[in-house]
Structure 1
Amino acid sequence: MLTSIEQDGHVLHLRTRESFNLFDIDSVSLIIGPNGSGKSRFLQRTVEQFASRRLPDFGSDCQLVFNYVDQRKPQDWGVVYYTPVQNRIAFRAQKHFVDASQRREQDLLQLYEHREIIESFGLKINLLVKLRADEKKVGDFLALALVEDEKGRYASKRHQPQLRSIRDLKARLERFSDFNGDQRELTYLQNQYKRELSLLSGYVLDDLRTREPAASNVLTALCATFHHMQKQNYDILSYIALIDEHLPSSYFQHIDPGSLQQKKHVGSRRLFRYILERLDNFAFEKGPRGVYQYALTNEQERLHFASDREGPFEMVLPGMSSGQWAIFNQIISLYEAIKRLAAPPAGNRASPREPITKLLVLIDEGDAFLHLAWQRKYIWQMNKFLSECKHTFGLTLLQLIIASHSPLLASDVPGEFVCQLNLEDHAQNKGRAASNDDFIEPDTTSPSFAAPLHAILNRSFGAVTIGEFAVRRINAAIAALKAGTYGPQEKYLISVVDDPIIQRELQRLVPHTEHQSQ
């Protein structure tokens, strides 16, 4: 078992003989300190110490301390590192090391595959399939296409008089002068053009609806197909050809398929059939803004949409926050990394090796992007999750080290397993190796486990519990009150201070004459 790590005059304890382990995994330790104090560097050096070396590294400023059984075998361990932040540190390739941060961000189908893991972490996955098929936008698109088809390539002659009046309005708008034209006339022409175009859009859609068989999804499938075709720059004739094939409209002429780009035409027909088949087989519900959605209820249904990564159907988790997504991505990346080390694929002759049974997990600011309520649960949930991983993969040892800025995480770790770094020590020790005489035991009197947050902030993190803006405003008010000034700003500030002690002390500084006038 790894009992401690010594670096730059600091000791991070993982286990001691005197302490009873409170966690379900073999240890949980915490590194705290401000930005630039060397937390990430501490983890990086730790990873490097597990690298396989034929000769000792005399220049190392990091020392791993194991119990007697593991004293000479650090290379038998596996190490997993993870951070959600973008400015990641770089690691050299090592045989038994996985940088889980390098995994690409999880997609929703992968989340569904790891549903049991995610739900054991206290999260729920309720996947929806969404399809965009906005009839109003498609109608407007077709109406504008008809108006712009002045050469009659596809617009039906039957509706030419109706189209001609809209084209006249459009021509008048294009000739209108912004310098000497009447603004009221311009507003009238714009409103009239929009109104006529909107009416034409409605007529086109009504005409398509009357030609659709009862209880059919053809129009919805056409609209969804058109939405997807717009992303790929299809010619307008491809749209009209699909309408002509499935819902022949009096507004459009017959399109000869031989005049189309055959590859794209075949692709659009295939896409339409693909969408229509799924609309017929799944009870999609129409939502606002032309969005249809269906709630996936089982694994078999998911497989119907598994291949649609770049297609018209989109997997969504309704109401998912950035914090939830950060947790989803983190636990799956960690799970896959642990699996890779603890359960290597069978029959790999290229690099055969025995499964890892001892594992050290390093998480650098894993609580980043999480709401305070999620930070409060982070240690508990990570302990539970890694305990299940230890059982699943038959690990004999699993130890966790977390680097964090969060006082909420510090309140969940006993003080003897918290290592506090600071900017001064990092600046002094940067660029030199530490000798054994340099090591300083951490100040275990700093509050951590189950301590009030204000005590942890003040003594462990060296921070005050009030925002800087509020502190400066209160100090300015104190100076003004001591100088005998008590104006509207000071009066308002005192009224909005929510700390009763600070408010009472400010009231004591109010000039005596002001107390009497109140």
Structure 2
Amino acid sequence: MSKIQAIRVDDRLIELLPQGVDRLGKLFEIDSVSLLLGTNGSGKTRMLLSLANAVGSSQDDSVQFYFQGTPNGNYEPCAPYNKNLCAIYYSALPYKRKFVRKPGIINASPSTKPYTDSRRIEQLGEVAKVLDVDTRLIGIFGYSRTVFRAVLIPALKSSREILSSELKYIIFDLNSLVSDLDSAELNDYKILDGKRESILKRLEGLLEQEIDIRIGETDRCLFLSALEYMYSKGKLYDEKSAAYAFLVHVNLIRAPSDRSSFKKLESIVDGTKVVLDNYAYKADFDWSQRTHRFQIDGISQSEIVRQHETPIKIEWSNLSSGLQALVEQFSLIDEAIGKAAAQGRFSILLLIDEGDAYLHLDWQRRYFSMLNKFLGGLKRKHNLHSLQLIMATHSPLLAADIPGELVTSLDSNSSINSFAAPLEEVIAGAFGSNSLGEFAAGKINEIYKRARAGNTTGEDRNVVEVIGDVAIKSALRRSFQG
């Protein structure tokens, strides 16, 4: 099937392959890349959904596709457009969009259901490999200060009989913290917070020591990991009763305890021991640490580990939250293109709605470079005839990666020289605003007006000193001098 040259959507003509673009050579790994720019409310999402729905519509005069070198000149006037074409829509945004289910349309957006199955883990690994990320499948377990501050210390504070005299004294210090402070200290929250943190850290350290003496480092780590796991599950478990039962078990308090709660805690610990005995080298663990990792040999082994109820989390190493989000997104797109190819649809129009949303600025900067490389691999992997991409964004970082003739601004009819342009120029040209936040710009203008009138205050000068832009800071300093 011929590549899409342009698409008319309402009052906009989006040129995927504008005349003269060949002079730039093969910029991308896929057949075409187009960008829709616009502020929130400019209609980016509506336009992408119109494009997707038009692919499967029998007739939709609001959308017209034009193809390269077709028998009817350069366009095909009637939809549906060939059974080889598939529109794939992906959005990283959380709220639901109206999406009509039709042949030739696939919604690749994440569902509300969490992906915990082994196939999803396998897909994440495959995508990470394509992106040249050095990653291994690992199991992680351990505990943090949460188990002390949210579970064990509250249990100790409410216990009537603490059997460790040192623990008893520190709990007393914590309970009487406010009453022992003088009035000056009470009025300084930093002093109060510092003393409270000091007491809590002493409690954490002493609890670890006392538990180590009674049951050893290994069991201390396993039991505290299991307690924190129970706490993380919310109402599924009674972690308070389990904490009392555990403190009785290690002989730190004397109190009636719920035997069934301790049995549940113990079963989680036993399940963890079974997994570690069979799939980890426990000699490699430094049990003085709170967190432990071990390598898992393949997806099948991870599935066996997941059959046991344990605090062990299975994930890929070296995946930050930003990279994890990208890998998840790319794996969903891969899955959708695979479905299209299985239906015999080898010409793909991929529509990505703010795929860079919620990413850290550095990941936004790298987003298109990684996406371009990944999509090139998918085109080869699935033997596609064509793969054409239309992205919608309000990110100036993404806009700076795309030549202006491939950019459609929904907020302006003027052309944009976005490719490799300074970020300030991209923002001003594509979004009709400067690169400062509105609040900061307003404050700067107010200070400048007062400086011109000779009415600046000491607070004005202090505000200028925290301005990050060196040029603006220097200009305002000069204005103070008249």
1:372 and 2:379 matched: no
After TM superposition, give the deviation of residue 500 of structure 1 in Å. Answer: 3.6
Larger Rg: 1
The superposition leaves residues 166-209 of structure 1 with CA deviations (integer Å, 9 ceiling, x where unpaired) of: 8xx99xxx9x9xxxx9999xxxxxxxxx9xx9999789846744
Q: How does 1:40-119 map to 2 (within 5 A)?
A: 40-53=45-58, 56-57=59-60, 60-67=61-68, 68=70, 71=76, 74-76=81-83, 77-103=85-111, 104-107=113-116, 110-119=120-129
1:452 and 2:422 matched: yes
Structure 2: distance between partners of 1:74 and 1:122: 37
After TM superposition, give the deviation of residue 404 of structure 1 in Å. Answer: 0.6
8 Å contact from structure 2 (residues 43, 410) kept in 1: yes
Structure 1: distance between partners of 2:98 and 2:31: 27
Number of the residue aligned with 2:275: 278
Structure 1: distance between partners of 2:365 and 2:92: 18
8 Å contact from structure 1 (residues 112, 125) kept in 2: no
Letter in 1 for 2:410: L
The verdict on how the C-alpha distance between 1:509 and 1:222 changes in structure 2, with shifts beyond 3 A counting, is: closer
Pick from 36, 41, 44 the counterpart of residue 39 of structure 1.
44
8 Å contact from structure 1 (residues 342, 355) kept in 2: yes
The superposition leaves residues 318-377 of structure 1 with CA deviations (integer Å, 9 ceiling, x where unpaired) of: 78554323212211111111112213xxxxxxxxxx421111110001111123322222
Number of the residue aligned with 1:30: 35
SS in 1 for 2:424: helix
Structure 2: distance between partners of 1:457 and 1:202: 54
SS in 2 for 1:457: helix
Q: Give me the TM-score of the superposition, normalised by structure 2.
A: 0.72
Number of the residue aligned with 1:482: 452
SS in 2 for 1:466: coil
Number of the residue aligned with 2:399: 410
Decide which moves more: 299-308 or 24-33: 299-308
The verdict on how the C-alpha distance between 1:477 and 1:223 changes in structure 2, with shifts beyond 3 A counting, is: closer
Q: How does 1:196-345 map to 2 (within 5 A)?
A: 205=211, 208-209=214-215, 220-221=221-222, 224-225=225-226, 232-233=237-238, 271-280=268-277, 281-283=280-282, 285-286=285-286, 291-296=290-295, 298-299=297-298, 302-303=301-302, 306-308=305-307, 311-315=310-314, 321-343=320-342
Q: How does 1:134-145 map to 2 (within 5 A)?
A: none
Structure 2: distance between partners of 1:408 and 1:46: 25
The superposition leaves residues 371-407 of structure 1 with CA deviations (integer Å, 9 ceiling, x where unpaired) of: 3322222222111111111110111111000001112
Number of the residue aligned with 2:414: 443
- Higher relative contact order (CA closer than 8 Å, sequence separation 6+): 1
8 Å contact from structure 1 (residues 407, 457) kept in 2: yes
Number of the residue aligned with 2:12: 10
Letter in 2 for 1:386: L
The verdict on how the C-alpha distance between 1:225 and 1:367 changes in structure 2, with shifts beyond 3 A counting, is: closer
1:503 and 2:474 matched: yes
8 Å contact from structure 1 (residues 30, 419) kept in 2: yes
After superposition, the CA RMSD in angstroms is 4.7
The superposition leaves residues 432-451 of structure 1 with CA deviations (integer Å, 9 ceiling, x where unpaired) of: xxxxxxxxxx533x212222
Number of the residue aligned with 1:435: none
Percent of paired sites with the same residue: 25
Decide which moves more: 97-106 or 7-16: 97-106
**Structure 2: stretches of 5+ with no match in the other structure:** 183-199
After TM superposition, give the deviation of residue 459 of structure 1 in Å. Answer: 1.8
8 Å contact from structure 1 (residues 128, 293) kept in 2: no
Structure 2: distance between partners of 1:250 and 1:497: 54
8 Å contact from structure 1 (residues 105, 329) kept in 2: no
The verdict on how the C-alpha distance between 1:17 and 1:458 changes in structure 2, with shifts beyond 3 A counting, is: closer
Q: Give me the TM-score of the superposition, normalised by structure 1.
A: 0.67
The verdict on how the C-alpha distance between 1:265 and 1:6 changes in structure 2, with shifts beyond 3 A counting, is: same
8 Å contact from structure 2 (residues 6, 14) kept in 1: yes
The superposition leaves residues 13-64 of structure 1 with CA deviations (integer Å, 9 ceiling, x where unpaired) of: 10134321421101000000111110111001111101142xx34xx42222
Number of the residue aligned with 1:433: none
8 Å contact from structure 1 (residues 83, 366) kept in 2: yes
8 Å contact from structure 1 (residues 240, 252) kept in 2: no
Letter in 2 for 1:384: K
Letter in 1 for 2:93: V
Letter in 1 for 2:66: V
**Structure 1: stretches of 5+ with no match in the other structure:** 150-158, 185-193, 344-353, 424-441, 512-518
Number of the residue aligned with 1:120: 130
Structure 1: distance between partners of 2:368 and 2:114: 23
1:398 and 2:399 matched: no
Structure 2: distance between partners of 1:298 and 1:269: 27
Number of the residue aligned with 2:186: none
The verdict on how the C-alpha distance between 1:468 and 1:309 changes in structure 2, with shifts beyond 3 A counting, is: farther
After TM superposition, give the deviation of residue 92 of structure 1 in Å. Answer: 0.8
After TM superposition, give the deviation of residue 5 of structure 1 in Å. Answer: 1.4
Structure 2: distance between partners of 1:302 and 1:28: 40
Letter in 2 for 1:285: F
Structure 2: distance between partners of 1:470 and 1:144: 47
Decide which moves more: 28-37 or 91-100: 91-100
The verdict on how the C-alpha distance between 1:478 and 1:148 changes in structure 2, with shifts beyond 3 A counting, is: closer
The verdict on how the C-alpha distance between 1:323 and 1:207 changes in structure 2, with shifts beyond 3 A counting, is: closer
8 Å contact from structure 2 (residues 142, 221) kept in 1: no
